[in-house]
Amino acid sequence: MGEREISGVEEMRYKAVIMHNRRFTSTVRTGLVALLFAACPLVGVAQAAAGAVETGRVDPRIAEALKQVSAERVQQTIEKLVSFGNRSTISPQDEASVKAGKGVAAAHDWIKSEFERYSKECGGCLEVKTDAFIEQPQDRIKTPTQITNVYAVLRGSDPAQSNRIVLVTGHYDSRNSDTFNGTDPAPGANDDGSGTAVSLECARVLSKYKFPATIIFLTVAGEEQGLNGSKHFSAMAKQQGWKIEAVLNNDIVGGDRSPEQDASVVRVFSEGLPNAATDAEVKRIRGLGGESDSSSRELARYIADVGRTYDAGVKPLLIFRLDRFLRGGDHLSFNRQGFAAVRFTEFREDYNHQHQDIRTENGIEYGDLPKFVNYDYIAHVAALNGATLASLASAPAPPANVKMQTKNLENDTTLAWEASPGASVYEVVYRATSAPDWEHVQTVTSGTRATLKVSKDNVIFAVRAVDAAGHRSLPVVPEPER
């Protein structure tokens, strides 16, 4: 690095990139383990030595889908969104504005028509819906205001799996320097035209395929006024008992073309202590040393795994923090309802290009304009999102009721769980308590129980289900069983 010091963030980035570039070559060892199992058919409980975790198996269908993600389509979407002038939640929603193609209502009408167009192309495979409600006056909303979330549902093809949901979202509302200005231009090409484009592009590409579990492509409004759209949607999902396994929130994924941008990575933020945890749950997490194992954090690690398996053109850089310093976004609404949710954001934001009136001052151009975003980068982020959604929607459900036996003090660790429909094998993954990501894996080829010669005091364990094609579920950290 020569004459300049590496900053903390950069150091993290380099470590992450090094991690991503690691290729594990323990195929021989895995083969030996398999042989061992084959030789001892009576041993239902896995006791063989674990190997290093390996990169996942590529599903050719998913790899093919990723190739169809188009930077040109992303560009068309963002330019169209910008054409609505000001997409603030408090921009005029009257008929004349909609007819003139201006304001937030014109924007959501267009997003809806776009989802409907994709659906037509796949023989009506998408259910296109809106979640509209009137928000009462509050901090950043002065009069009762209609907020409309628009979404498309790609229903799972397996009736036994279709109640499982994975979801991608971005916010289509925008703002300029003044939160209460609903008329002057607020292009929002990056914030969050980029995230809206990711959700739309995932819908366009993935709707050409069928997946056992359900995928929802969501776009919300009200983010800039106080996360209102996502708050309403996530509360509805909770109230209706939706089984959402993962929420991918894309907000500011435009890859602003500032000189210090790193277009090879996208940050993935995940909460540590769950926002939905009660005091008793926080106490339990503290007792178990589970501060870095929220369901959102496991989702982030899953995205890292997907990033090693598929070449999306951009690598996830995990940031173990809810969001950027003292800031928030729509994933927080889902976290508060107890759902696993993470945020994707470009590596380096340019604050001259977000929440700014369009103007030039002292030679500096301000404003969230299309010319500052990188369409190829957004397409890469869409591909990473698409690969994650497709992998999760193809995988068996995560194992339920994962338990760790703690009746006796012992140095071995015994785990047990319920069978997951469609699972071919299970994998116990574990890592040192100080390690950021899974390091070791032990495959359990029969039964739903495993004893490992590894002390629960020294590592963190989780169990995932894997189908015959190699699709991995989200890993589940065990609960102690006394």
Binding site for Zn ion (CB under 5 A): 191-192, 251
For residue 320, report the phi and psi dihedrals to the nearest 5 degrees.
-85, 75
Nearest to 322 by CA among 274, 262, 388: 274
Both tokens of residue 50?
């674990």
- For Zn ion, give the closer residue by CB, 192 or 256: 192
Q: Please, what is the minimum distance in Å from the beta carbon of residue 5 to Zn ion? A: 31
- For Zn ion, give the closer residue by CB, 251 or 350: 251
Q: Please, what is the minimum distance in Å from the beta carbon of residue 346 to Zn ion? A: 11
- For Zn ion, give the closer residue by CB, 346 or 467: 346
> Can you give the length of the chain in residues?
482
Q: Residue 420, exposed/middle/buried by CB under 10 A (0-12, 13-18, 19+)?
A: buried
Note whether 347 and 262 are within 8 A (CB): yes
Q: Please, what is the minimum distance in Å from the beta carbon of residue 216 to Zn ion? A: 20
Note whether 476 and 417 are within 8 A (CB): yes
Both tokens of residue 204?
């366009």
- For Zn ion, give the closer residue by CB, 192 or 271: 192
Q: Please, what is the minimum distance in Å from the beta carbon of residue 97 to Zn ion? A: 22
Residue type, 149: N
Q: Please, what is the minimum distance in Å from the beta carbon of residue 252 to Zn ion? A: 6
Q: Please, what is the minimum distance in Å from the beta carbon of residue 101 to Zn ion? A: 22
Both tokens of residue 97?
């504005």
- For Zn ion, give the closer residue by CB, 214 or 333: 333
Q: Give the distance from CA 458 to its chain's centroid.
A: 29
> What interhelical angle do 195-206 and 104-121 show, nearest 10?
20
- For Zn ion, give the closer residue by CB, 169 or 296: 169
- For Zn ion, give the closer residue by CB, 59 or 191: 191
Both tokens of residue 57?
């198996």
> What interhelical angle do 71-83 and 375-394 show, nearest 10?
110
Rounded CA-CA distance 187/248 in Å is 23
- For Zn ion, give the closer residue by CB, 192 or 427: 192
Q: Please, what is the minimum distance in Å from the beta carbon of residue 171 to Zn ion? A: 6
Nearest to 297 by CA among 278, 318, 311: 318
Rounded CA-CA distance 165/153 in Å is 9
What is the rounded radius of gyration, in angstroms, for the C-alpha atoms of the chain?
Answer: 23
Residue type, 140: R
For residue 400, report the phi and psi dihedrals to the nearest 5 degrees.
-95, 160
Q: Please, what is the minimum distance in Å from the beta carbon of residue 369 to Zn ion? A: 16
Pairing of strands 315-319, 145-154: unpaired
Q: Please, what is the minimum distance in Å from the beta carbon of residue 188 to Zn ion? A: 8
- For Zn ion, give the closer residue by CB, 331 or 431: 331
